[in-house]
Amino acid sequence: SDIEKGTYPHFMLKEIDEQPLVLRRIIQEYQNEDNEIKLDPDVRQAMKDCDRIYIIAAGTSYHAGLIGKQFIEKFAKIPVEVHVASEFSYNMPLLSEKPLFVYISQSGETADSRAVLVQTKELGHPALTITNVPGSTLSREADYTLHLHAGPEIAVASTKAYTAQMAVLAILGVDTANAKGIDLAFDPMQELAIVANAMEAMADQKEVFEDLAHEFLETTRNCFFIGRSIDYYVGVEGALKLKEISYIQAEGFAGGELKHGTIALIEEETPVIALATQAAVNDSIRGNVQEVIARGANACVISMKGLEKDGDSFVLPKVHELLTPIVSVLPLQLISYYAALHRDCDVDKPRNLAKSVTVE
């Protein structure tokens, strides 16, 4: 069953492995017999009616929101703001005339997000919750819910819920585009199926990622993740995964920001994990890699097929350029997992953390 580890040593590893299955389940659940997107008509209408979307979330779900913004803006042409739930009410942005609030939460119980939901409901604004737990507080209290269908996620560090969030947000973005009559040369179900296959192929090569964890993270106290464009957001999630379970101090940076401060921290042997999945920024991120190597860093480059260069540590199978975050996070999840394992950390129950945080 979903809440048994079976032959797996940890829930986290099991949940990482379940990601292709979860994507295929999402494809099924969000498609009708005519291969059209199947979505609650009220959600479709709310997306059509709003003039701006405010995504509110915490932790890994916030990182999924950063990617979701790209999908909704690029596909549906609706402006999107993404906010950390705990900060939102201190400096509430000036709201648009017809805002739609989208709460992304694996558990549906995060108190920081709920506090914002209560506040925005009081202001009379519609709310959509995207969650893995349909009966949860955030689901019940919002007007609409989209279900992630990821199955119970037990490990504290979120993996399959994050990839499910991105997949559902991609579908939502395309559905809204369709509803608005925007013509897209992009079939989300077909592209997500390609992503699922790519993830499956990678999950079969675990020893590669265990070796990378050995090579780059065995004794280090810190680690940097760099990326540009959409890769930057994935790097931030990679850093969170590594911090959460291995306690290695990690930070994700935009490649272009390195020179504005962070590069001062690069020393002999500092691990820098770089993502290179976007053609438009391949040269510039490669430039950043050279800059850190010149200062002694141990650079681990994870690139995408077609953009690879000699010496890259891993080349991801090719998927649609906008969906790369769903595949590029998998090596980062597995490298974090093995780094934590090699340090004898409690992978599923890291110190000081809770699966759902029900206090503000």
Residues that bind ligand G6P (CB under 6 A): 58-61, 105-107, 110, 113, 156-158, 353, 355-357
CB of 281 to ligand G6P, least distance (A): 27
How far apart (Å, rounded) are the C-alpha atoms in residues 130 and 105? Answer: 6
Q: What is the DSSP letter of 91?
A: T
* Tokens, residue 76: 């549906």
How far apart (Å, rounded) are the C-alpha atoms in residues 220 and 70? Answer: 33
CB of 141 to ligand G6P, least distance (A): 14
**Residues pairing with 57 in the sheet:** 84
3 state SS of 353 = coil
3 state SS of 121 = helix
**φ and ψ at residue 242, rounded to 5 degrees:** -65, -45
Q: Which is nearer to ligand G6P, 110 or 313 (CB)?
A: 110
CB of 188 to ligand G6P, least distance (A): 22
CB of 60 to ligand G6P, least distance (A): 4
* Tokens, residue 261: 């401060």
Q: What is the DSSP letter of 37?
A: B
CB of 251 to ligand G6P, least distance (A): 17
How far apart (Å, rounded) are the C-alpha atoms in residues 187 and 190? Answer: 5
Q: Which is nearer to ligand G6P, 38 or 349 (CB)?
A: 349
CB of 114 to ligand G6P, least distance (A): 9
CB 42 within 8 A of CB 144: yes
CB 171 within 8 A of CB 29: no
Residue nearest to ligand G6P (CB): 59
By annotation, the residues acting in catalysis are 355
Q: Which residue has the tokens 């340090």?
A: 343
CB 250 within 8 A of CB 222: yes
Q: Which is nearer to ligand G6P, 136 or 313 (CB)?
A: 136
Q: Which is nearer to ligand G6P, 82 or 272 (CB)?
A: 82
Q: Which is nearer to ligand G6P, 56 or 316 (CB)?
A: 56
- Which secondary-structure segment (H or E) carries 282? helix 282-294
CB 307 within 8 A of CB 280: no
Q: Which is nearer to ligand G6P, 118 or 279 (CB)?
A: 118
**E strand segments, 113-191:** 127-131, 144-147
CB 175 within 8 A of CB 44: yes
